[in-house]
Structure 1
């Protein structure tokens, strides 16, 4: 599933090609995504100028003076920039055509993605209003994380993957951040002290920023706006490396399920 770095990579990839341009046409080939594509979108968008291309958690926000288009990539979605010369593929469900004929094309094989519209401030949308802070923001800091951990008995990995606590820390990056911080993924969140939270908070920021700079994690379904895969998978320290030697101590990387998700860690380096 595309995680925060993949979505941010996509945002940075598409923004220079579409920002400031005017929607001319919207083509919806498949309205049956995770939620139905809103009726009337093909009438609402044409003539509106795209004033912002932002991200909130894993949602892309394409803002106009009349409202905001919310796009979620789901489990397998991607956005591509094309001039219309490329053939429409089987899972190309929507085209956003601009006045200069630039096309933003939405592809989603599994159809778990979303294309939504709100005329209200985006932050009030039901899917965004309850989200926690952005992990790369100043609001997400050691004291904030410690406050969230207090009296929590559940695993710290589940806590940092909870979008109501902090957005965008998916399974891969949670495992990598916990390893960097030396914190066992199954450790009760309430057992962390301020020093633990400081290391973990800094690790999350470092891992996510690094992944963004590398273009995101290479998953089977992810490609960036130019159709190229990300590169961060080359740098994964624990995720997907069960049985292989820890890069720090050479002990074998272990795997267990936490919250129905595969978790990877080093039993010697993480406590």
Structure 2
């Protein structure tokens, strides 16, 4: 699933191409993805200008003149979605469900599993949209620090890894990035969240930030369908120290990497380095 780094890479790639560009129209090829696509969205978007492209968690937010009678287009890539900039003449394929058409290019949403979302928020105040209102803190923000995470977990008697992936607490830390951050911080994914000290949380927050920033610099992780807006692939997964390496030697201590199931997801860790 595209997580925070992949969505941020998509945002950065689209920003230089689409900022201040006027929308000629839109093409909707399916009535719904995860949710129903708003009726009349093609007509609503036509003639508006993209003034900014922001990210909230795993949502891309396109400001379509929200302060001048427009609104916000919210895009979520779901499990298998991607956004591509293609030429006006590029024919749509089977899983290409939505086009945002500009004078010289098309922003195309491809989503084979249809778990993504395309939503509209009229006017300003997009943070109040139901899809965004419940989201937790941004892990790359200044407010996300070890003291905050320590305080937020005092009554959370659950393993730390599933908690880091709970978007109601912290947004965008997917399976790969949670595993890699915990290994870098030396924290076991099995450790109860309320049994981690303030000092260790400070180390963990630094590891999370470093892992996410490294992933963004590497173009994200391409393990299934995710590609950049220009069709290129991310390569962070090639540098993983624990994720996907079950049975292989830990790059720190040479002990075998172990894999278990937590909350329905595979968890990779080193039982020797992570306590």
- For the Cα contact (< 8 Å) 1:31–1:93, is it kept in 2? no
SS in 2 for 1:80: strand
**How big is the shift at 1:216?**
0.3
- TM-score (structure 2 length as normaliser): 0.96
Task: Provide the aligned C-alpha RMSD in A.
Answer: 0.9
SS in 1 for 2:50: coil
User: Does 1:198 pair with 2:208?
Assistant: no
Corresponding residue for 1:3? Answer: 3
- For the Cα contact (< 8 Å) 1:18–1:102, is it kept in 2? no
Structure 2 distance, partners of 1:223, 1:201, is 28
Structure 1 distance, partners of 2:78, 2:36, is 14
Corresponding residue for 1:130? Answer: 134
Any residues of structure 2 matched to 1:158-197 within 5 Å, and which?
Answer: 158-197=162-201
Structure 1 distance, partners of 2:51, 2:62, is 8
Corresponding residue for 1:241? Answer: 245
Unpaired runs of 5+ residues, structure 1, are none
**How big is the shift at 1:85?**
2.4
Corresponding residue for 1:75? Answer: 79
Cα shift readout 1:46-81 (whole Å, capped 9, x = no counterpart): 011111101000000001221100000001100011
Corresponding residue for 1:85? Answer: 89
Corresponding residue for 2:108? Answer: 105
- TM-score (structure 1 length as normaliser): 0.98
Corresponding residue for 2:40? Answer: 40
Unpaired runs of 5+ residues, structure 2, are none
Cα shift readout 1:94-123 (whole Å, capped 9, x = no counterpart): 11001x232101111111111100114110
**How big is the shift at 1:87?**
2.2
SS in 1 for 2:231: coil
SS in 2 for 1:132: coil
Cα shift readout 1:139-178 (whole Å, capped 9, x = no counterpart): 1001110011102210011111111111100111000000
Structure 2 distance, partners of 1:82, 1:222, is 16
Structure 2 distance, partners of 1:27, 1:106, is 10
Runs of 4+ in 1 over 2 A off after TM superposition: none
SS in 2 for 1:115: strand
- Between stretches 215-224 and 202-211, larger displacement belongs to 215-224
**How big is the shift at 1:190?**
0.3
Structure 1 distance, partners of 2:136, 2:162, is 14
SS in 1 for 2:179: helix
